[in-house]
Amino acid sequence: MTAVAAARRYALLNALLWLPAGLYLVPLVLLMLDRGLTVSTIAVVGVAYGLTIAVLELPTGGLADVLGRRPVLIASAVAGAAGLLLLGLADTVALFLASAVLRGAARALSTGPLEAWYVDTVHAERGRETDLTAGLARGEVAASLALGAGTLIGGLLPLVLGRVGPLPALAVPVLMAAGVEVLRAVLTTSLPEPPHARPALGVVLRGVPATVVTGLRMAGRDRALTRLMLAAGGAGVALGTIELLTPAWLAGLSTGPRAAATYAVVAAAGFGADAIGGMLAAGAVRRFASHARAATAGWTVSAVALAGLAGCAMLSGTVALVLAGIAYCVLFIGLGAAFPAQAHLLHERVEPGERATMLSVQSLLMQAVGAVAIPVIGWQATRHGIEAGYTISAVVLLASAGLFLRLRDGSRPAVPAPVG
């Protein structure tokens, strides 16, 4: 497969990977409430989902490096379809917990293999000197648009449908998401992958831990990789803060059935802004003549936008809401423009046999940093107001932008024509 064709396939599969998450984002909690679960029980289901991801993140990344990208991606789609089908039909706590475990396994399995497949394909045809920014940005744009469209559908469709036979309308977007996962599994079966030996099960089981250990050692030994991982953790804090505090900001705007629709529109606007940022990513690298400087600029813009949200939280009225909406979108534009440049810096420092593992290490670090920081930010927001939480997150993100300073592209002084 050519690099251009790989970029198109990567964008398509990335959209199908994230569309289900958008479809069930809004109905998830509301559906469990409708089935009789309490808020505390729903929190336990959420913990089961998060723990499953944390436990499987690194092993599944290593599995993709040892066994291959395609089988792991197919397994993630199958697990995702099963988990979402169970979520749409569940009526007991045990079934919701089983759904959470399956969805968590699907998320862990999907972290890294698709991006690793795209990078390997481009490197195989054009060499490691090729600029990956445009192709990675194309995938991010596709994912953001899919998330935005899915969030709007998942939030607005239940208001239109009412009940659908024996099912509540909230279950319809969830079952649609399961169908998308089935489609992703089918399309992934034709994903071309460079030939590799089919190891026996024992070899696979022995190879995965070794690959994981190698990835962890690399992340700790290579200072540039360590900086990139920590910067990703700072971005994870910013995104977690938005997910935590934005619903509280919206709580005063609408209540009852319209609350889900309001959240869907705002979340979709953020995903759309992220897509715009992705469209600007390759141009930012050319403008700054450096992936590191482009990432620094994007992180800094987003940190300033978070500070702007803190200022808006201290105001009131329509003007404050409009300004907050602008700051919210600017935040995602900055991150959307910066993430592809940050990803390029990571990939040029990693060998193919460790690529999916390193992406899993990065994902796990983002979650771990967020798990420590977000409760503190939430506590401060409760004591001192939402603006305090936004301010702390802005400081963390600005500090993580400094991690890109003095980082250099690992190969060339000039930026060649982009792929994709």
What per-residue confidence (pLDDT) applies to 83? Answer: 96
Average pLDDT score over the chain: 82
3-state secondary structure of 290: coil
Using 50, 70 and 90 to split pLDDT, how confident is the model at 414?
A: very low
What per-residue confidence (pLDDT) applies to 416? Answer: 42
What per-residue confidence (pLDDT) applies to 196? Answer: 53
What per-residue confidence (pLDDT) applies to 256? Answer: 44
Q: Of all helices (H) and strands (E), which one includes residue 402?
A: none
What per-residue confidence (pLDDT) applies to 413? Answer: 36
What per-residue confidence (pLDDT) applies to 162? Answer: 63
- Mean pLDDT, residues 264-270 taken together: 82
- Mean pLDDT, residues 15-26 taken together: 92
pLDDT tens digits, 152-189:
898 888 777 765 556 678 889 999 999 999 999 999 99
What per-residue confidence (pLDDT) applies to 411? Answer: 44
* 308: CB partners within 8 A, 6+ apart: 323, 324, 326, 327, 330
Task: Return the minimum-mean-pLDDT range out of 67-76, 198-207, 257-266, 358-367.
Answer: 198-207
CB 299 within 8 A of CB 334: yes
How many Cα atoms occupy the beta-carbon half-sphere of 278 within 13 Å? 21
- Mean pLDDT, residues 341-360 taken together: 80
Phi, psi (rounded to 5 degrees) for 167: -95, 140
- Residue 239's closest CA among 318, 118, 331, 355? 331
- Mean pLDDT, residues 356-368 taken together: 77
Q: Of all helices (H) and strands (E), which one includes residue 225?
A: helix 223-251
Phi, psi (rounded to 5 degrees) for 83: -65, -40
Identity at 321, one-letter amino acid code: L
Q: Of all helices (H) and strands (E), which one includes residue 217?
A: helix 201-221
**Token pair for 118:** 């795209």
- Residue 404's closest CA among 240, 294, 281? 294
3-state secondary structure of 167: strand
What is the helix, strand, coil percentage profile of the chain, to 5? 80, 0, 15
Strongest mean pLDDT among 66-70, 242-246, 402-406: 402-406
Can you tell me the distance from the alpha carbon of 90 to that of 37, in angstroms, rounded to the nearest whole number?
A: 11
Task: Return the minimum-mean-pLDDT range out of 63-77, 183-197, 345-359.
Answer: 345-359
Q: What's the chain's length in residues?
A: 420
Can you tell me the distance from the alpha carbon of 212 to that of 386, in angstroms, rounded to the nearest whole number?
A: 39
Can you tell me the distance from the alpha carbon of 356 to that of 294, in angstroms, rounded to the nearest whole number?
A: 24
pLDDT tens digits, 189-241:
989 886 555 556 566 666 667 666 766 676 667 788 888 888 988 998 898 88
- Mean pLDDT, residues 362-384 taken together: 79
**Token pair for 346:** 């990571």
Q: Is the pLDDT of residue 376 over 60?
A: yes
Strongest mean pLDDT among 188-197, 288-297, 313-322: 288-297
CB 325 within 8 A of CB 269: yes
- Residue 191's closest CA among 136, 141, 118, 126? 118
What per-residue confidence (pLDDT) applies to 412? Answer: 39
What per-residue confidence (pLDDT) applies to 17? Answer: 95
The residues facing 167 across adjacent strands are 164
Taking each helix axis as running N to C, give the angle between helix 318-347 and helix 258-288, from 0 to 180 degrees, rounded to the nearest 10.
50
Using 50, 70 and 90 to split pLDDT, how confident is the model at 252?
A: low
Q: Is the pLDDT of residue 324 over 50?
A: yes
What per-residue confidence (pLDDT) applies to 165? Answer: 57
Q: What is the distance between the terminal CA atoms of the chain, rounded to a whole angstrom? A: 13
Can you tell me the distance from the alpha carbon of 116 to that of 363, in angstroms, rounded to the nearest whole number?
A: 14
- Mean pLDDT, residues 117-134 taken together: 85
Greater confidence (163 vs 371) lies with 371
